Chains A and B, each alone.
Chain A
Amino acid sequence: GIQVEQSPPDLILQEGANSTLRCNFSDSVNNLQWFHQNPWGQLINLFYIPSGTKQNGRLSATTVATERYSLLYISSSQTTDSGVYFCAVVRIGTASKLTFGTGTRLQVTL
């Protein structure tokens, strides 16, 4: 099956700092999503981005499908950004199931 690797596994930031999270995948995809899992366990959709660049407030994402990676940028981080960030993909030629990476655990401190 497709492999999805996320880096870094853990990240500690001070409030106001910027960060870049990376997602590498091993095969062609037709769906890529970024999620934030908050401390209560909810999975919140951040971006649906099989290719290209999108921005939503302090967050933006870029997927370069031909090079099999995606980046999530968080600017001016806030304590509410803490949690685990997951990248998930659907490999072309398979059913619509999402394969998740192992996540990046982010802690934003005051």
Chain B
Amino acid sequence: DSGVTQTPKHLITATGQRVTLRCSPRSGDLSVYWYQQSLDQGLQFLIQYYNGEERAKGNILERFSAQQFPDLHSELNLSSLELGDSALYFCASSPRGRQGAGEQYFGPGTRLTVT
């Protein structure tokens, strides 16, 4: 158990819908990262938050957004869902936010299926 929790474990929804994925980092970790794993793109970084502020952005679509709350949990919002958004979404956390942010620990993932 990495100490990072994600809910829900599985999500099945229809095209055009909106979903919210939730992540709680390990105790004491200030950085939260979101990654997407799809069959065609592999594991890709989406976005990082550090202590409530956006720190870095990767290949995140405009239809996706995220935030980190004062209690440090994070949510990833996916809207206007398309079939191609079906993937495994991972949250990770690390102690710090900058270069040398430390080891990243991954949650169990949320498997999203868009039908």
> Hey, which bits of chain A sit against chain B, CB under 8 A?
30-31, 33, 35, 41-45, 48, 86, 88, 90, 92-100, 102-103
A96 touching B58, Cβ below 8 Å: no
The A interface, classified by DSSP as helix, strand, loop or mixed, is strand
Quick one: closest A residue to B104, CB to CB?
Answer: A98
**Interface size in chain B (residues, C-beta < 8 A):** 30
> Contact at A97–B56, with CB atoms within 8 Å?
yes
Does the CB pair A100–B109 fall under 8 Å?
A: no
What are the residues of chain B within 8 A of A41 when measuring CB–CB?
88, 108-109, 111
CB neighbours (8 Å) of B100 from chain A are 30-31
- The reply to whether B106 and A45 form a contact with Cβ atoms under 8 Å apart is yes
A sample of 28 cross-chain residue pairs with beta-carbon separation below 8 angstroms, ordered by A number, consists of A30-B99, A30-B100, A31-B100, A31-B104, A33-B104, A35-B106, A41-B109, A42-B108, A43-B90, A43-B106, A44-B2, A45-B2, A45-B105, A45-B106, A88-B43, A90-B101, A92-B99, A94-B56, A95-B48, A96-B31, A96-B96, A96-B97, A97-B58, A98-B45, A98-B104, A99-B45, A100-B42, A100-B43
Chain A residues whose CB sits within 8 angstroms of the CB of B45 once the complex forms? 97-99
Chain A-chain B contacts (Cβ-Cβ < 8 Å), number: 66
Given contacts A95-B56, A103-B42, 6 further A-B contacts (CB under 8 A): A30-B100, A41-B88, A43-B106, A45-B105, A98-B35, A102-B42
Q: Please name all residues of chain A whose beta carbon is closer than 8 Å to the beta carbon of B43 when the two chains form the complex.
A: 86, 88, 100
Q: Which B residues are in CB contact (< 8 Å) with A103?
A: 42
B63 lies within 8 A of chain A by Cβ: no
Whether the pair A96, B109 counts as a contact (CB closer than 8 A) is: no
Task: List, in ascending order, chain A residues with CB within 8 A of B44's CB.
Answer: 100
Closest CB of chain B to A20's CB: distance in Å?
A: 22
Q: Are A48 and B103 in contact (CB under 8 A)?
A: yes
> For the complex, what is the distance from the CA of A93 to the CA of B58, rounded to whole Å?
15
Give the Cβ gap from B99 to chain A, nearest Cβ, in Å.
6
B101, A31: Cβ atoms closer than 8 Å: yes
